Amino acid sequence: ERIDARGLHVLPGAIDVHVHFREPGFAHKETWTSATQAAAVGGVTTVFDMPNTRPPTASPAAVAEKDALAAKQAIVDYGIYGLIGEDNGDELKAMLDAGASAFKLYMGSENPLAPCPSDGAIVDAFETLAGLGIRCTVHAENTPILKRRGERLRRSGRVDAAAHLEQHADIATVEAVSRSAIFAEWTGCKIHIAHESSRHSLPHIRFAKSRGVDITVETCPHYLFLSTDDSSRLGANFLRVKPPVREPGHAGPLWDALIDGTIDILSTDHAPHLPDEKRRPVIWDCAPGFPGVETSMRLMLTEVNRGRMTLCQYVRMACRAPADAFGLAHKGRLEVGVDADIVLVDLRAEGRIEGALLHSLGNATPYEGFATIGMPVRTMVRGRTVALDGRPVGQPGWGRRVGAPSASA
């Protein structure tokens, strides 16, 4: 295939280490087909899928079940997260053998699909993963603290204060970031902090790194581009995401940390829900999260155009750093011998984000109407074009599972 790339920039495909592609269990929100089409159009060539599906990806059989669904449909490459549970510590190795690429720990989830293990179980799991050399991604949020305080406020009739607490208290995140870093130092486990939302976590992250903890950190576009000020535009409940988008004053330090490398990775936490699940009158009924795989690169290229960062810095956070953190030596860079996961971008292309045009089934985007400059125009996975000019063209089943680092070594 000869491709005319005149006037375009050639980048490695983006690697998104935090997506919720919803199957099995929630195909009404998203399928592997719709999600990987959205990813391909968005310039994403590899994704790592989170385990809070139904059934949760917490056993070798569940890993195999998800892999079968993904293998049939995916047009981009994918990794599968295994879930760290209270009682599945003995199965982690078997889950790797079944195809898990990494593990996910929910440190404070109220979600029955991904309940929070006890501190003892967390330390045990970290010890096992340290032995296996596998990185553990952590949803670092101590939601039981928030829940308890929120219930007290609600019981005393202070419902607004309880809602405010859910949206604003970042102590739950900061506490869990620092606790997981301490557990990582204690056990030697490599960890990856998911969706960093608060500037107050940054000193704890720097401290852990200064002590030699192998800790990587990601943030997501919604913490960089949105704040609680957007609730009037979007509706307070629509803005609901875990962890919450913070008040103004956090995004600036998060940008600085992402550019200076304190935050290593840009992911999306692509968490699609149907529009009516996002627009419920009571905040606790409103589904948390937003779609992200198709809009992230456009938003970030716009910032490159505005001079906030260089294209090389973008490639580092979106391609190279995730490949390095998750042992994908054959991806995330443009070098002879690596997979030809390539995105051609037109840095001049102007556009506007429109939810109705996104390929995700959960296409209600908080960036509706955002003007962008810079667009992926061709996405290639292992040498084959999977998206062209905003349309998915890949063959379902072309996407391949990426192995865990020790499994591929």
β partners of residue 344: 10, 378
Structure tokens at 53: 């599906």
CB of 137 to Zn ion, least distance (A): 9
Our CA dihedral for 15, 19, 22, 28, rounded to 10 degrees, sits at -100
Partner from Zn ion, ligand NCD, none contacting 52, C-beta within 5 to 8 A by type: ligand NCD
Smallest gap from residue 114 Cβ to ligand NCD (A): 8
How far is 290 from 363, CA to CA, in rounded Å? 8
User: Is 139 an interacting residue with respect to Zn ion (CB under 5 A)?
Assistant: yes
Site for ligand NCD (CB under 6 A): which residue of 20, 135, 192, 204?
Answer: 20
> What is the smallest separation between the CB atom of 24 and ligand NCD, expressed in angstroms?
14
Residue 241 touches which of ligand NCD, Zn ion, none (Cβ within 5-8 Å per kind)? ligand NCD
Whether 132 and 406 have beta carbons less than 8 Å apart is answered as yes
Residue 316 within binding range of ligand NCD, rule CB under 6 A = no
| CA gap 17, 268 in Å, rounded | 8
**Does 52 contact ligand NCD by CB under 6 A?**
yes
Contact 386, 377 (CB under 8 A): no
Output DSSP code: residue 146: H
Place of tokens 């125009």: 377
Q: Provide the minimum distance between the beta carbon of 243 and Zn ion in the complex, in angstroms, as a whole number.
A: 8
Kindly state the DSSP code that residue 374 receives in the 8-state scheme: E
Strand pairing partners for 16? Answer: 47
| Interaction of residue 296 with ligand NCD, rule CB under 6 A | no
Q: Is 30 in the site for Zn ion (CB under 5 A)?
A: no
Run of H or E residues at 315: helix 311-315
User: Which one of 85-93, 134-142, 175-183, 247-255 is the stretch in contact with Zn ion (CB under 5 A)?
Assistant: 134-142
Binding mask 190-229 for ligand NCD (x = CB under 6 A): ----------------------------------------
**Ramachandran class of 400: left when φ > 0, alpha when ψ lies in -120 to 50, beta otherwise:** beta
Among 404, 400, 408, residue whose Cα is nearest residue 72: 400
Q: Which stretch binds Zn ion (CB under 5 A): 33-41, 135-143, 212-220, 354-362?
A: 135-143
Q: Does 269 bind Zn ion (CB under 5 A)?
A: yes
Kindly tell me which residue out of 12, 13, 289, 374 binds ligand NCD, with binding defined by CB under 6 A: 289
Query: Among the candidate windows 131-139, 201-209, 357-365, 381-389, which touches Zn ion by CB under 5 A?
Result: 131-139
Contact region with Zn ion (CB under 5 A), list: 89-97, 265-273, 302-310, 399-407: 265-273
The SS3 assignment for 271 reads coil
| SS3 assignment, position 126 | helix
Name the residues that contact ligand NCD, by CB under 6 A: 20, 52, 139, 241-242, 269, 271, 288-289
Name the residues that contact Zn ion, by CB under 5 A: 139, 269
